[in-house]
Amino acid sequence: MSQSVHVHAFRELLDGGGIVDDPERIATYTTDQRQLFTGSTLAVLRPTTTKQVVDIVRLAAHRGIEIVPQGGNTSYCGGATPDASGRQIIVSLERMDRIREIDPVSMSISVDAGVILKNAQDAAAAAGLLLPLSLGAESSCRIGGNIGTNAGGLSVVRYGMTRDLLLGIEAVLADGTVVSDMRKLRKNNTGYDVKQCFVGSEGTLGIVTGAVLRLAPLPVRRATAWLKLASGVPLAELLGLVRRESADLLTTFEFMAARSITLATEAMIDPSSLRAGPAGAVLVELASSSRHLDLDELMEAVLAEVIESGWIEDALLAQSGSQRAGMWRLRETIPEGEKRRNGSVKHDISVPLSSIQRFLDLAGAQVRSYDANLELSVYGHVGDGNLHYNVLVPPDVDRLEFTKGIESSLSLQLYDTAAALGGTFSAEHGVGRFKKHLLKRYGDVGRIAAMCRIKTAFDPADIMNAGAVVRPLGEKSAR
Ligand SMILES: Cc1cc2nc3c(=O)[nH]c(=O)nc-3n(C[C@H](O)[C@H](O)[C@H](O)COP(=O)(O)OP(=O)(O)OC[C@H]3O[C@@H](n4cnc5c(N)ncnc54)[C@H](O)[C@@H]3O)c2cc1C
């Protein structure tokens, strides 16, 4: 059957705006966020209802057409990008963007999976509540993608990852069966927790069409500080002290090396005057939903203790909303700063907190002995043991060639080090298409076998995001 016959059949299921097959418009859906790979697709389908998703999946399954679910296409491992065959279809959830319900008493929000994260946050805030998932891509990533990647971000140290926020789910399986479990329950011990299968599954088990997320009381007080780190600072101990002395009101503990701060500063229209200490800087934020707590006073007391320890050179407590926003802007501009320079080879590693310093020491030595001229941009959600340990692409080289070279050599040394310290090669970016070889190299054999069995049970014909993460057992497994 020709491609145009397939496209025609899908078109019949959707309204006028439901299908994109114009090559120019398709390009934005077929290139991954880091522009490392451009795939090809039969068409981009944009359903507006769960029923339409069911119809698409049934037709695709019947014709043996593989489906790549897509949200905001902001993920870093090529999981939302079709392969080069041109035979896969993209199902974009971008038109399923309804907030279904906010329940202030149960403290939950029910949404279509295509809702942009920022819109869900704003809807919760309008009801006096906090959706405590926050990341640099929040204005474009979508809830289904956040579930697909188990997104983390800037507040994990206090509220956990997407997995910890998920109360209910609606998803369409590879044969069109709808899992309809949009309950708001905190407690529901009635067998397997099926919704959790979809978290971090990167579109390989089904298409998430709806979700119920846990909300928290909206903070009304915040205290934000910029800490210039002295050399030799024990980061994990510093974090421990801040958590303990702030009664665990810590929502953010973001580490930035000096080079990352310079890159961000250079990329800003209105450059920040914030500077790093010899060991970089940390952005610390405390938040409270109670008006009765004076967080500035608490932060000042915590900082006095930290200064006394000799771990920081100096600290600046934000005195206004705009000072606070300036600190955040600097942190959030780091990826842009890297991009403007010629990009970076990203290593989204995590290690147990107790091994963070050891990782930094060992990895630094590995980079220096690989090539003493390489520059690093190191930053991340250190509160969660997560570091973005990025090797900067020199300005005058071919980015893709350089990336390939690093990923086949130095990257493996860095991942070996993380693994030896009990860590992982992907803290929050997932596996997608780009990191499958790493899953094979570092994954526990039994765990991978269990993943393949789950994939086989959900999607034996490998319709859902074939080529990402793992294959089902059986004949297609060798592809
Ligand atoms: C500037 C920037 C900052 C970032 N910061 C962070 C961060 O702090 N923490 C973090 O975790 N990530 C971060 N990311 C990565 C990215 O934003 C997250 O992975 C995000 O969760 C992806 O959401 P998305 O909607 O863009 O998903 P997509 O990229 O569209 O898809 C991601 C995966 O989920 C699958 N998928 C998408 N929608 C569905 C669905 N409805 N049903 C089933 N599967 C689906 C896709 O097939 C794909 O495998 C950042 C990215 C950028 C560009």
Cα 287 to Cα 459: distance, rounded to the nearest angstrom: 43
CA–centroid distance, residue 119 to ligand 1 (Å): 15
Query: Do 107 and 196 belong together in one domain?
Result: yes
Of 92, 117, 139, which one is at a domain's C-terminal end? 92
Judged against a pLDDT cut of 50, whether residue 122 lies above it is answered with yes
76 CA distance to ligand 1 centroid (A)?
A: 7
List pocket residues of ligand 1, CB cut-off 6 Å.
Answer: 33, 68-76, 79-80, 93, 113, 135-137, 141-142, 144-146, 148-149, 151-153, 202-203, 207-208, 335, 428, 432, 465, 468
Residues 88 and 140 in one domain: no
Give CA–CA dist 380/395, Å, rounded: 23
Q: What is the pLDDT of residue 142?
A: 98
List the domain range (segments joined by +) for residue 315. Answer: 221-335
DSSP class per residue in 210-230: EEEEE-EEPP-EEEEEEEEEP
Which of 1-5, 131-135, 177-181, 384-388 shows the lowest per-residue confidence on average (mean pLDDT)? Answer: 1-5
The domain spanning residue 64 has which CATH number?
A: 3.30.43.10
Q: What is the pTM of this model?
A: 0.95
pLDDT in tens, 30-55: 999 988 899 999 999 999 999 999 99
> In the predicted model, what is the mean pLDDT of residues 169-182?
98
Quote the percentage of the chain above a pLDDT of 90: 93
Residues 388 and 313 both lie in one domain: no
Helices (H), 199-320: 235-245, 258-267, 295-309
What CATH number is associated with residue 109? 3.30.465.10
Question: Tokens representing 226?
Answer: 């910029």
Q: How confident is the model at residue 474 (pLDDT cuts 50, 70, 90)?
A: confident
What distance in angstroms lies between residue 156's CA and the mean position of ligand 1's atoms?
16
Cα end-to-end span (Å), the chain: 22
Query: Given this model, what pLDDT does residue 475 score?
Result: 53
Element (H, E) at 341: helix 334-341
For residues 112 and 160, membership in a common domain is answered with yes
CATH number at residue 386: 3.30.70.2740
Average pLDDT of the residues of the chain: 95
- C-alpha distances in Å from residue 8, one per residue of 20, 93, 94, 149, 175: 12, 20, 21, 32, 21
- In this prediction, residue 21 carries a pLDDT of 86
- Tens-place pLDDT, residues 449-466: 999 999 999 999 999 999
Read off the CATH number of the domain in which 289 is found: 3.30.70.2190
pLDDT above 80 (res 1)? no
Within this chain, do residues 64 and 114 fall inside the same structural domain, yes or no? no
**pLDDT tens column, 56-80:** 999 999 999 999 999 999 999 999 9
b/e per residue 132-168 (b: at least 16 CB within 10 A): bbbbbbbebbbbbbbbbbbbbbbbbbbbbbbeebbbb
Nearest to 258 by CA among 228, 237, 235: 228
User: Are 88 and 110 found together in one domain?
Assistant: no
Are residues 240 and 329 part of one domain?
Answer: yes
Mean predicted confidence (pLDDT) in 291-301: 96
Query: Based on the structure, what is the number of domains in the chain?
Result: 5
pLDDT value, residue 383? 85
Last residue of a domain, one of 197, 217, 237: 217
Average pLDDT over residues 187-196: 95
Residue 478 banded pLDDT, cuts 50, 70, 90:
very low
Helix (H) or strand (E) holding 386: strand 386-392
For the chain, give the percent of residues with pLDDT over 70. 99
* Ligand 1 atom, smallest distance to 135 CA: 8
- Cα of 176 vs centre of ligand 1, distance in Å, is 24
The pLDDT value given to residue 35 = 87
Q: Are 168 and 214 in contact (CB under 8 A)?
A: no
Query: Domain ends where: 320, 335, 350?
Result: 335
| 174 in the same domain as 127 | yes
Nearest-CA residue for ligand 1 atom 3 is 136
Region 404-417: mean pLDDT is 97
- Residue 4 — pLDDT band, cuts 50, 70, 90? confident
If one residue of 56, 141, 435 were mutated to test the ligand 1 pocket, choosing by the most ligand atoms within 8 A of its CB, it would be 141
pLDDT level of residue 2 (50, 70, 90 thresholds)? confident
pLDDT (tens digit per residue) in 359-371 = 999 999 999 999 9
Query: pLDDT value at position 476?
Result: 55
Q: How far is the CA of 70 from the centre of ligand 1 (A)?
A: 9
Mutate to test the pocket of ligand 1, among 70, 134, 332, 350 (most ligand atoms within 8 A of CB): 70
Rounded to an integer, the average pLDDT of 410-419 is 98
Q: Which two tokens stand for residue 354?
A: 């107790």
